């Protein structure tokens, strides 16, 4: 126990530290485990306030690593109360002789990396310095109570209680006047019980919270049955799920059903009494504000139905944050408590606390006296406990300083400049957005396996690279950006602690996807890590997740569908397939008017659809050419995109069909495109267009047609164009570009499909014709201003980039947007992929700019 030079120092004897100790011992590592409290249990050791319970059902909130525990321990309730969870932790610690490896009542005060020795020196509250190779913070996400940021807290002479530091002997509030400050989970769980005892309770509420009845009782039978039937399968499902609890994936949009149906579905979820059920009723309540509002309003109706005083009900109803964007709560009789005559709610929004006094609280125009004040004011979440230890890494840099503007980690496990430091459920990992047990076990196992691999391969240090860490930050931000979580002033965002940087602290991409990323890092030779040993270094630098998270989900979903390759079909089959795929997509926004008609093409009539903005005309006009590799698609196939561009750019869009290959090969599409442009130009006024304000645009093969048509217009004395919008355009069929190889497969448009398109459209010789490959034009000067959008994971990326560069070199004004993490099709997927929305907004802005200038 007193070995002062060990392989690993672990701080914290909660569920993370306990399991880690077990695994490190098993693998033969020497360890010291320091714990500030005098027993195991972590969160469940400290949070002993009345009513403290776990909101995740006991079928899921338990260790899975020791299968015997499933039979040796029986949970009495669905949502275990704190004493039972603490007993469980003690039971496990005894069973596995963990107590002998834990030093209680010892804090880690500081930790300093010794670059020469490649070891950490851990300074303890007992004045000892422990030397270790690896240092693991298993300090929990909600372990440092937030400093009470209320004037006068130190003045109060009565009893003061903090929910996260509750006295072990308990508190009896019988006959007392009690103030409770804070209505997060701790407040919501404890208030009904405090009110049962106290003479008078005043609840000071800054923000009302969403809460649902826990419906506590025996563990849910359907989960017990599934566990019994096939425990491994159940556990595996949890590990690969979004939240660490097996749940059926929601497939219905809250906006696709009537409010009545939505409320019925929500009621069914609510009756389950499971924390994640309501948020999982609809597929879009976490990413779409309107969808979320359906859920929020449902929850508010429930408050109104319970709380008798309508004014109090209104005060208890959240309006300022979406459901789930702050941690929703589970309660037992919380809202009912406010119907009791001795319970009063104070809305701090209207009546802020002026000061706490020796005898009570002054707020608004009132002054109330209390015997006790309960602070249920929350925690310095996720980072508080980590930077609470003075951790100095390479070159004396402290972690606190490094994280001044928000935590920077690779995988939420490690941080650049701090070799051999690991965090369990650290910021940048799913942690508090998951069933903590699942996330804890995954991190412990990842760390264990990493230390074993290092030992086997003779490495002494492991540290992430700046590239990988920054890439992970970008990925975490991308994940958060597609949700509405960032709207709320939550502790997820650090918003509850004054001065704390506002960043999304947990990883919101899901437990399963996160696990897959961690596993892939290992499989790819510790991608993004530098490992060093005596005379050896290994560094497979790189980025683990670059595709936008919502795009990634679509790719994954398509992967599971085992769809046939389009290039294996006949053109007719491909057309049917493409039409069937479009049928199920969201329609896009409403436009002022849509009109279907025909115009004169190069060899007969062509169908077109006109999209008119709802604003008063006349409007500028853009002739739009659809994608589909010249083989399939129609004037209707990019309908949602055309609608969105119409609405957002306030432009009249005319989407034109053109003849398709192989029936009509090159140059039919280009000729039709040019004929359509001329027709629209001649008929602009009667269509409601502004004469002289004409542009072309298109996506993919349609981008090719648009680029070619712009060249034809220049070379044939008009029509004069204000701009050309080219989204993922085909610009060069004459040769191979690097992106054809880099993105050959796996991103929907494949290299072989592109070849199939070309083969149907043009002979090898024709591919060298600038009207097939506009990049090959001898002269690109004099063309209209261009907006070129290319996507990182598109086989066509480089030819689009090359066209933008060539236009610019020829003196054409070019707005070149490179969409990071996107694929050939993703920007067109209106209302399906939120990460594409900013690019569509940019495109609309680009269209407006064309017309502003010309």
The residue among 201 and 653 lying less far from ligand NA7, judged by its C-beta, is 201
CB-closest chain residue to ligand NA7: 184
The residue among 181 and 684 lying less far from ligand NA7, judged by its C-beta, is 181
Min dist. Cβ of residue 242 to ligand NA7 (A): 17
Question: What secondary structure letter does DSSP report for 53?
Answer: B
Percent composition of the chain: helix, strand, coil (DSSP 3-state, to 5): 35, 20, 45
Cα distances from 674 to residues 204, 426, 789, in angstroms, run 69, 58, 22
CA-derived radius of gyration, the chain: 31
**d(Cα 4, Cα 137) in Å, to the nearest integer?**
18
Question: What secondary structure letter does DSSP report for 443?
Answer: H
Give the DSSP H/E element, type plus range, for residue 132: strand 129-137
The residue among 47 and 465 lying less far from ligand NA7, judged by its C-beta, is 47
**d(Cα 359, Cα 369) in Å, to the nearest integer?**
5
Min dist. Cβ of residue 376 to ligand NA7 (A): 5
Q: Kindly state the tokens that stand for 409.
A: 């980690």
| Half-sphere exposure of residue 336: CA atoms within 13 angstroms, side-chain side | 9
Yes or no: say if 200 and 32 are a contact pair by the CB < 8 Å rule: no
Question: What secondary structure letter does DSSP report for 101?
Answer: G
Nearest one of 397, 427, 398, 399 to 411, comparing CA atoms:
427
CA dihedral 689, 690, 696, 697 (to 10 degrees): -70
Give the DSSP H/E element, type plus range, for residue 347: strand 343-347
| Half-sphere exposure of residue 452: CA atoms within 13 angstroms, side-chain side | 14
Beta bridge partners, 453, equal none
**d(Cα 522, Cα 448) in Å, to the nearest integer?**
12
Instruction: Look up tokens 């003690």; give the residue.
Output: 90
The residue among 324 and 795 lying less far from ligand NA7, judged by its C-beta, is 324
Yes or no: say if 16 and 39 are a contact pair by the CB < 8 Å rule: no
Q: Prior bond to 453 cis, omega within 30?
A: no
Min dist. Cβ of residue 355 to ligand NA7 (A): 12
Nearest one of 118, 129, 44 to 81, comparing CA atoms:
44
**d(Cα 694, Cα 684) in Å, to the nearest integer?**
9
The residue among 440 and 623 lying less far from ligand NA7, judged by its C-beta, is 440
CB within 8 A of 438, min separation 6: which ones?
Answer: 60, 64, 238, 239, 244, 245, 511
The residue among 348 and 837 lying less far from ligand NA7, judged by its C-beta, is 348
Min dist. Cβ of residue 334 to ligand NA7 (A): 12
The residue among 62 and 186 lying less far from ligand NA7, judged by its C-beta, is 186
The residue among 184 and 412 lying less far from ligand NA7, judged by its C-beta, is 184
Min dist. Cβ of residue 485 to ligand NA7 (A): 14
**d(Cα 611, Cα 656) in Å, to the nearest integer?**
11
Min dist. Cβ of residue 46 to ligand NA7 (A): 11
The residue among 275 and 623 lying less far from ligand NA7, judged by its C-beta, is 275
**d(Cα 292, Cα 754) in Å, to the nearest integer?**
40
Q: Kindly state the tokens that stand for 121.
A: 């020196």
CB within 8 A of 192, min separation 6: which ones?
Answer: 51, 331, 332, 333, 334, 336, 337
Min dist. Cβ of residue 834 to ligand NA7 (A): 25
Other C-beta atoms closer than 10 Å to the C-beta of 196 total 15
The residue among 206 and 473 lying less far from ligand NA7, judged by its C-beta, is 206
Min dist. Cβ of residue 491 to ligand NA7 (A): 5
Min dist. Cβ of residue 158 to ligand NA7 (A): 18
CB within 8 A of 774, min separation 6: which ones?
Answer: 704, 707, 708, 711, 729, 731, 732, 803
As separate numbers, helices (DSSP H) first and strands (DSSP E) second, the chain gives 25, 29
Q: What are the backbone angles phi and psi of residue 80, rounded to the nearest 5°?
A: -70, 140
Yes or no: say if 143 and 42 are a contact pair by the CB < 8 Å rule: yes
**d(Cα 521, Cα 515) in Å, to the nearest integer?**
10
**d(Cα 55, Cα 787) in Å, to the nearest integer?**
51
Min dist. Cβ of residue 257 to ligand NA7 (A): 30
The residue among 328 and 629 lying less far from ligand NA7, judged by its C-beta, is 328
Min dist. Cβ of residue 277 to ligand NA7 (A): 17
Min dist. Cβ of residue 182 to ligand NA7 (A): 3
Q: Kindly state the tokens that stand for 466.
A: 């700046």
The residue among 327 and 824 lying less far from ligand NA7, judged by its C-beta, is 327
The residue among 85 and 708 lying less far from ligand NA7, judged by its C-beta, is 85
The residue among 420 and 496 lying less far from ligand NA7, judged by its C-beta, is 496
The residue among 207 and 750 lying less far from ligand NA7, judged by its C-beta, is 207
Min dist. Cβ of residue 297 to ligand NA7 (A): 20
Question: What secondary structure letter does DSSP report for 145?
Answer: B
Min dist. Cβ of residue 52 to ligand NA7 (A): 9
Q: Which residues here bind ligand NA7, judged by CB under 6 A?
A: 142, 149-150, 163, 181-187, 204, 206-207, 327, 348, 376-379, 491, 496
Q: Kindly state the tokens that stand for 832.
A: 């399906």
Min dist. Cβ of residue 205 to ligand NA7 (A): 7
Nearest one of 479, 457, 482, 474 to 528, comparing CA atoms:
474
The residue among 185 and 743 lying less far from ligand NA7, judged by its C-beta, is 185
Min dist. Cβ of residue 153 to ligand NA7 (A): 9
The residue among 480 and 817 lying less far from ligand NA7, judged by its C-beta, is 480
Min dist. Cβ of residue 321 to ligand NA7 (A): 8
């Amino acid at each position: 126990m007193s070995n002062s030079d060990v392989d690993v120092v672990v701080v914290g004897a909660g569920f993370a530290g306990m399991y880690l100790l077990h695994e490190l011992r098993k693998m033969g590592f020497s360890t010291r485990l320091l714990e500030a409290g005098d027993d195991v249990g972590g969160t469940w050791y400290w949070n002993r306030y009345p009513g403290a319970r776990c909101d995740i059902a006991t079928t899921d909130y338990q260790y899975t690593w020791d299968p015997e525990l499933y039979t040796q321990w029986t949970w009495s309730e669905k949502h275990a109360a704190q004493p039972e969870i603490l007993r469980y932790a003690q039971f496990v610690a005894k069973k596995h002789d963990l107590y002998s490896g834990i030093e209680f009542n010892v804090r880690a005060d500081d930790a300093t990396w010794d670059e020469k020795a490649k070891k950490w020196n851990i300074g303890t509250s007992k004045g000892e310095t422990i030397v270790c190779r690896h240092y693991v913070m298993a300090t929990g996400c909600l372990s440092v109570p937030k400093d009470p940021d209320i004037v006068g807290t130190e003045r109060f002479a009565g009893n003061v209680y903090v929910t996260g530091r509750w006295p072990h002997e308990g508190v009896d509030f019988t006959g007392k006047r009690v103030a409770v400050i804070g209505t997060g989970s701790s407040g919501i769980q404890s208030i009904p019980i405090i009110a049962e005892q106290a003479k008078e309770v005043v609840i000071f509420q800054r923000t009302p919270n969403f809460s649902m009845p826990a419906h506590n009782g025996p563990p849910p039978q359907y989960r017990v049955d599934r566990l019994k039937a096939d425990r491994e399968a159940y556990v595996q499902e949890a590990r690969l799920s979004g939240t660490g609890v097996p749940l059926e994936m929601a497939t219905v949009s809250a906006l696709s059903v009537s409010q009545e149906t939505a409320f019925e579905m929500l009621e069914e979820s609510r009756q389950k009494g499971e924390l994640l059920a309501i948020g999982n009723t609809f597929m879009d309540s976490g990413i779409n504000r309107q969808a979320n509002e359906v859920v929020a309003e449902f929850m508010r109706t429930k408050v109104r139905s319970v709380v008798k005083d309508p004014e109090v009900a209104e005060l208890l109803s959240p309006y300022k944050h979406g459901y789930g964007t702050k941690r929703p709560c589970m309660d037992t009789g919380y809202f009912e408590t406010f119907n009791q005559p001795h319970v009063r709610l104070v809305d701090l929004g209207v009546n802020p606390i002026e000061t706490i006094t020796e005898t009570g609280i002054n707020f608004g125009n009132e002054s109330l006296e209390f015997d006790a004040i309960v602070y249920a004011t929350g925690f310095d979440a996720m980072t508080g406990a980590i930077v609470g230890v003075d951790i100095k890494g390479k070159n004396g840099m402290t972690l606190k300083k490094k994280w001044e503007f928000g935590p920077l980690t690779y995988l939420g496990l490690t941080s650049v400049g701090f070799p051999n430091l690991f965090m369990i459920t650290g910021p940048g990992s799913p942690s508090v957005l998951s069933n903590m047990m699942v996330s804890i076990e995954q991190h412990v196992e990842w760390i264990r396996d990493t230390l074993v691999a290092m030992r086997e391969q003779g490495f002494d240090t492991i540290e992430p690279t700046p590239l990988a860490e920054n890439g992970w930050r970008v990925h975490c931000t991308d994940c958060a950006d597609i949700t509405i979580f960032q709207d709320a002033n939550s502790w997820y965002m650090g918003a509850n602690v004054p001065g704390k940087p506002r960043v999304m602290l947990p990883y919101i991409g899901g437990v399963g996807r996160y696990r897959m990323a961690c596993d892939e890092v290992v499989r790819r030779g510790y991608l993004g890590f530098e490992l060093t040993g005596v005379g050896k270094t290994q560094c497979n630098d790189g980025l683990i997740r670059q595709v936008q998270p919502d795009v990634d989900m679509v790719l994954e979903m398509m992967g599971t569908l085992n769809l046939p390759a389009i290039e294996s079909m006949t053109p007719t089959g491909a057309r049917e397939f493409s039409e069937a795929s479009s049928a199920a997509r969201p329609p896009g926004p409403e436009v002022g008017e849509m009109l279907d008609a025909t115009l004169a093409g190069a060899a007969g009539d062509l169908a077109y659809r006109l999209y008119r903005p709802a604003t008063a005309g006349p409007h500028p006009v853009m002739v739009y050419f659809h994608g589909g590799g010249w083989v399939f698609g129609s004037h209707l196939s990019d309908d949602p995109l055309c609608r969105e561009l119409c609405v957002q750019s306030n432009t009249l869009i005319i989407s034109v069909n053109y003849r398709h290959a192989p029936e009509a090969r090159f140059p039919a599409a280009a000729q039709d495109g040019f004929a359509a442009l001329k027709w629209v130009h001649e008929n602009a006024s009667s269509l409601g267009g502004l004469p002289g304000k004409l542009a072309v645009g298109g996506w993919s093969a349609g981008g090719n047609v648009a680029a070619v048509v712009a060249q034809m217009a220049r070379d044939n004395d008009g029509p004069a164009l204000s701009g050309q919008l080219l989204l993922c355009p085909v610009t060069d069929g004459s040769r191979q570009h690097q992106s054809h190889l880099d993105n050959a497969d796996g991103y929907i448009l494949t290299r072989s499909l592109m070849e199939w398109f070309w083969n149907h459209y043009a002979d090898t010789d024709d591919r060298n014709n600038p009207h097939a490959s506009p990049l090959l034009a001898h002269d690109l000067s004099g063309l209209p201003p261009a907006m070129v959008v290319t996507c990182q994971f598109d086989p066509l990326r480089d030819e689009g980039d090359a066209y933008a560069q060539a236009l610019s070199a020829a003196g054409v004004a070019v707005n070149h947007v490179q969409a990071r993490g996107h694929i050939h099709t993703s920007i067109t997927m209106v209302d399906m992929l939120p990460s594409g929305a900013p690019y569509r907004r940019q495109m609309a802005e680009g269209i407006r700019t064309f017309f502003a200038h010309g």
